[in-house]
Amino acid sequence: MELKGKRVLVVGLGKSGVASALFLKKNGARVTVSDTKTEDELRAEIPLLLDQGVAVETGGHGERTFRGQDLIVVSPGVPVDAPPLLQARALGENVIGEIELASQFIPGPIVAITGSNGKTTTTTLVGEILTAAGFPTLVGGNIGTPAISLVERAQAGTFIVLEVSSFQLETIQTFCPKIAVILNITPDHLDRHRTFQAYTDAKARIFEKQGTSDFAVLNADDPTCINLENRTRAQVYWFSRKKEVNRGAYVEEGRIFFRGAKRREEIMLASEIPLKGAHNLENVLAGICCGMLMSASRQKIRSAVQRFKAVEHRLEFVAKVRGVEYYNDSKATNVDATIKALESFPANIHLILGGKDKGSDYTALNELLRARVKRVYTIGTAADKIEAQIRGTEVVHAETLDNAVRRACAIAEPGDIVLLAPACASFDQFQSYEHRGRVFKEIVHAMSEHALETA
């Protein structure tokens, strides 16, 4: 892609939007950025952009701004059916996302990982497996570091491991990972995609440009993933914690095997995985597939898995206060993620639910609520909907996270678990799920310090 002298508009000033604008400007493009946020809301980003000669439009998208552009790069938070983008496409303007932009400049092989849940854990693990195997490796994408920020550090032999979301996959054109992984597909982001089929179709685009020399890694225990086998031209490898697979990673009598095109190899014992929950076993199996397909040795894979620690905000142990354990799973932003979190503990759970609703059905939680949860504490704008749908346990309308944690602390008994697994987005009361998780940890640590002082 030739950028020098081209007129390029970047829509949305999140992390990827800022990174895209700076990359485009450095490579000779005439760059404008446009965001609906006010100048005051973007005061941290604007000075850097202006200093580099990027034109900045805030407080809305001007109709004329979108006209006459050689390229429009849209951030994942901007809906692809936003009226200005529909008009731009109608005028024949090229609209892509940051992941697509980055992929056209990344020289080495890409491992792309998507799914409703487990993306961050698996992406981080694959990065650590490849690094342990001695391969030059960079990790980014939806995990935090924009893919476009990796371009300058990437060489032809560098492996790029990317977490990619359904929003990012909506705007790809030529994106072609060497290995494409779909961990699972359960209802999520229906407030944006509207239907589960549209959401599934967005995820399946990860395979769109792959050929017969590429690899697709799919979950053999997920019925939606199973149905995607015929939507890729790549060589399909499976992972399963429930059954043997013809090619891929699986568990048999507590041992993990990988079966390749020629032979089966034992990788490690399932009991050696240091992470809680069956869902993390699945994430590790997917990671093993990626490592083996990239020619990492089984010894290096085993060592990387054994050393791996839970990523921040994903079923993260925070503290034990007066015999009660506190866990931060702020990244559980959909119902299926909350189910997986609840399945990681046998009983006596105090569950904090709520935030910004994503069109979810919370009745799916009811069986686990009856079996394992002592109380639910609801917070945020989704609280009323959640309270109308859940059954089987006592519900405390807490409104805020601080109030929920303190109410749970006052009620919980030694041996109980207080779990933040909200099944919702964070944007009603927080800047991000990371912000929500950090606040939760700050509250818990403050209570822990107070408990020590009064002991």
Region 193-199: what's the mean pLDDT?
87
- Long-range contacts of 44-51, Cβ-Cβ distance < 8 Å, separation of 24 or more: 45/13, 45/18, 48/18, 48/22, 49/18, 49/21, 49/22
Active site residue 189: yes
| Closest by CA position to 63, among listed 45, 88, 44, 80 | 88
Per-residue pLDDT band at 199 (split at 50, 70, 90): very high
The tens digit of pLDDT for each residue in 385-438 reads 999 999 999 999 999 999 999 999 999 999 999 999 999 999 999 999 999 999
pLDDT at 79 over 90: no
C-alpha distances in Å from residue 242, one per residue of 221, 230, 250: 7, 22, 7
Among the ranges given (66-70, 177-181, 402-406), the one the predictor scored with the smallest mean pLDDT: 66-70
As a whole number, mean pLDDT of residues 112-125 equals 94
**What's the whole-number mean pLDDT along residues 83-88?**
90
119, 178, 193, 441: which one is catalytic? 119
Q: 454 pLDDT band (50/70/90 cuts)?
A: low
pLDDT, tens digit, for every residue of 248-280? 999 999 999 999 988 999 999 999 999 888 889
Model confidence at 226: pLDDT above 80: yes
List Cβ<8 Å contacts ≥24 apart for 315-318.
315/275, 315/276, 315/277, 315/280, 315/341, 315/344, 316/437, 318/440, 318/441, 318/444, 318/445
CATH of domain 316-454: 3.90.190.20
pTM comes to 0.82
Q: Does pLDDT of 453 surpass 90?
A: no
Q: Provide the pLDDT for residue 421.
A: 98
Catalytic residue (one of 15, 25, 178, 189): 189
CATH of domain 100-307: 3.40.1190.10
Lowest mean pLDDT among 160-164, 185-189, 220-224: 185-189
Ranges of each domain in the chain = 7-93, 100-307, 316-454
Pull the structure tokens for residue 346.
């046998």
Fold topology of 7-93? Rossmann fold (3.40.50)
The one catalytic residue among 15, 25, 117, 142? 142
What is the 8-class DSSP label of residue 148?
G
In the residue annotation, 25 being an active-site residue is answered as no
pLDDT higher than threshold 90 for residue 63: no
How confident is the model over 196-225, as a mean pLDDT?
96
What pLDDT sits at residue 33?
96
β-strand partners of 394: 375
Q: What is the pLDDT of residue 455?
A: 53
Per-residue pLDDT, averaged over 305-325, amounts to 92
Rounded to an integer, the average pLDDT of 51-60 is 94
Band (pLDDT 50/70/90 cuts) for residue 81 is confident
Strand 110-114 relative to strand 55-57, pairing: unpaired
- Check residue 310 and give its pLDDT: 79
User: What six digits make up the tokens of 263?
Assistant: 């032979």
Report helix, strand or coil for 191.
helix
